Structure 1
C-alpha cells in the first residue's frame, strides 16, 4: 500500500478548463454530496491545484488497486511522514477510517453524519452556472440548456453520444432496481406518484419485493437522483416526483411532454435556491414564507394567465398571496389583481434574477 500511496502523492492532478460554480471551497473540512457527474471531483481538484503540491494527498477510492484494510493501517503514518495538510478521499467509502489532518475533504453520493465535516450539496448546473459554458447569451443558450441539461461533462460529449453517456453513467452509479425505478420516474416526471404505484407497475415486468422497491426508492431520494414535493398542508398526500436533471428525460424515455420537462426545470432552480415550497391543486409551487406562487406556463399569454388566476382565486385569498409569477418561455407581461402582484416572466430572466 505504501507504493500506491506514493504514486497518488506524486501524480500531478489535471482538469480541463474550470468554470466557477456558485460553491467554492475554503479551509474547512468538507463532505461534498451529489449525484454522479455533478462536478464534485472537478471542484475538489480545482481547489487542490491552488495549493502547494507537497501539502495534499488525493485518493480516488474507486481505484480497484486499493486494499481497504491496508489503507486504514498505513494512511495515517503516510500523512504524518509526508506532512500532509489536506487529504481528499474522492468517492469515499464508509469503511475507510479518517486520519488526523488539518483539512479533510470527502466526496460521496450519500450523506455521512460526521460532525467534523461541513456538508456541501452539489447539484448539476443551474441555468446561471450553465451560461459560463456558453459562447453567447441569447435565446440559443436556453435551447442549448434544454438539450444538454446541467451535467457539466455533457459539453464535451458529442450530440450522437449524449443519451448513451447518461445511460452508462446511471448504470454505473445505480443498481438494477434503482435504475428501473429511475427510468419509470422519468416517464412520470412532475406528476404525483407514490412508491406503491411504482411497485405495482414494475412488478409486472420484473421480479421484485415491495420492501426492496421501497428501500431502493428511498435510496434514490437520499442520493438526490429524484426529488419529492409535498402537497401544502397534506403531508400524507401523494408527492410529486422530479428528476435531478432534465437531461434524463430524453436519455431514458422517448415520451415527450414539454410542459412537465419545463416544470422540472423550474423546480430545480427553486431547489438550488434553498426555498421551501409545496404544490397544491392547479398550483405548481407555493412558497408560504414568501407569500408567493410560481406557475409554470411555458407557452401561455396574459389571457390564459387571467383564466388560471380565476381557477385558483380561493387559494389566493385564503392564504393572502402577495406575489404570483408565471414562468414562460418568452412571454413577458402582467395583469392587475386586487390582492397580488401578478406577472409573466421568461424562464431565463426569472432564473437570473435575484
Structure 2
C-alpha cells in the first residue's frame, strides 16, 4: 500500500480551466456532497493547488487498487512521515478510518454525520452557468436549456452530450435507480407518489415495493430527484421534479417545453433554498415573500389576468402581495385591484437581487 500512497503523493494534479463557484473550501476540515458531476473534484483540486505540493495527499477512493484494510493500517503513518497537513479523500468510502491531521477534505454524494464544515454543491444555477459561457449574449438562456447545470457539459461536443450524460448516470446509479430516473423524467412537474412509480416500473422489470421505495428515498436524499409539497397539506401527493432538466433531455425523446420550463424555475428556487409549495392552479407559493410564481414561458396579459382571477380566493386569504409570471422574454406589469401582477423574463428573474 505504501507504493500506491507514494504514487498518489507524487501525482501532479491538473484542474484545467477551473471556474470559480459560489461555494469554496476554506481552511476548515470539510465534507463536500452533491450528485455525480456537480463539480466536487474540481473544487477540491482547486483548493489543493493553492498549497505547496508536499503538504497534501489526494486520493480518489474509487481506485480499485485500494485495499481499505491496508489503507487504514498505513495512511496515518504515511502522512506523519511525509509531514502531510491536508488529506483529501475524493469519493470517500465510510469504511476508511479518519484520524487527527490539520485538515481533512472529503467528497461524497450524500451528507454524512461528521464534525466538519458541510458544503452542499448543487449543479450550476443560472448565474453560475453564465460564468461558464464563453460569451454572454442573447443565446445564453437557450444554451442553458440545452446544457442544464452540469459543469462538464460545456466541454462536451454537442453531438456527444446525450450519450455522455447517459453514461455518467449509468455509472453513478444502480440499475434500478437509473430506471427510476428514466421513469421520473417522463413525469416531471406532475403529482407523483411512490406507488405511481412502482406501478409504472413493475411492468418493465421485476421489483418489490420495498426495494423501490428504499432506492427512491435514497435518490431524494442524494438530490437526483426533488419534490414539492402542497401548501398546508403535507400528506398530499407531492409534485416531482428532476435536479436538472438536462437529465430529461438525455433520457426522454418527447419534450414538453412547459414542463421543462417549470422544472427550470423550480431548480432556481431550490438551489437558492427558497421555501415554496404548490397549490391548485399555483406552480409555486412563497409564503415568506407573499408571492405566487407561475412558470409561463409564453404568457400573454389576457391569459395571465384570467388565471389570477381564478386564484383570487387564495390571494386574499393568504395576503399574497404579488403574482409573478416567469416568462421566456415577455415583460409587463398588469393593473389588478387585489395584487401586483408582473411578467418577468426568466433571465431577469433568475439574476435578480431577491
The C-alpha deviation readout for 1:3-35, integer Å capped at 9, x for no partner, is 111111111100111111111111111111111
Q: Distance in 2 between matches of 1:198 and 1:224?
A: 17
Q: Aligned residue for 1:89?
A: 89
Q: Distance in 2 between matches of 1:285 and 1:29?
A: 37
The C-alpha deviation readout for 1:88-134, integer Å capped at 9, x for no partner, is 110001111112111111101111111x2111111111111111122
After the TM superposition, which parts of structure 1 deviate over 3 Å for at least 4 consecutive aligned residues? none
| Offset of residue 137 of structure 1 | 2.0
Q: Aligned residue for 1:11?
A: 11
| Offset of residue 323 of structure 1 | 2.0
Alignment of 1:97-116 (within 5 A): 97-114=97-114, 116=115
| Structure 2 residue 264 is matched with structure 1 residue 258 | no
Q: Aligned residue for 2:220?
A: 221
Q: Aligned residue for 1:192?
A: 191
Q: Distance in 1 between matches of 2:195 and 2:14?
A: 45
**8 Å CA contact retained: 1:75, 1:99:** no
Alignment of 1:33-48 (within 5 A): 33-48=33-48
Q: Aligned residue for 2:203?
A: 204
Q: Distance in 1 between matches of 2:247 and 2:204?
A: 21
Alignment of 1:171-320 (within 5 A): 171-320=170-319
The C-alpha deviation readout for 1:236-282, integer Å capped at 9, x for no partner, is 11111111111011100112100000011111111111111111111
The C-alpha deviation readout for 1:43-92, integer Å capped at 9, x for no partner, is 11011111111111111000111000000111111111112111111000
Number of residue pairs aligned between Structure 1 and Structure 2: 353
Q: Distance in 1 between matches of 2:167 and 2:118?
A: 28
| Structure 2 residue 24 is matched with structure 1 residue 24 | yes
Secondary structure of residue in 2 paired with 1:16: coil
Q: Distance in 2 between matches of 1:2 and 1:144?
A: 47
| Offset of residue 312 of structure 1 | 0.9
**8 Å CA contact retained: 2:331, 2:342:** yes
Secondary structure of residue in 1 paired with 2:107: strand
Q: Aligned residue for 2:148?
A: 149
Structure 2 residue runs without a partner (length 5+) = none
Q: Distance in 2 between matches of 1:75 and 1:302?
A: 65
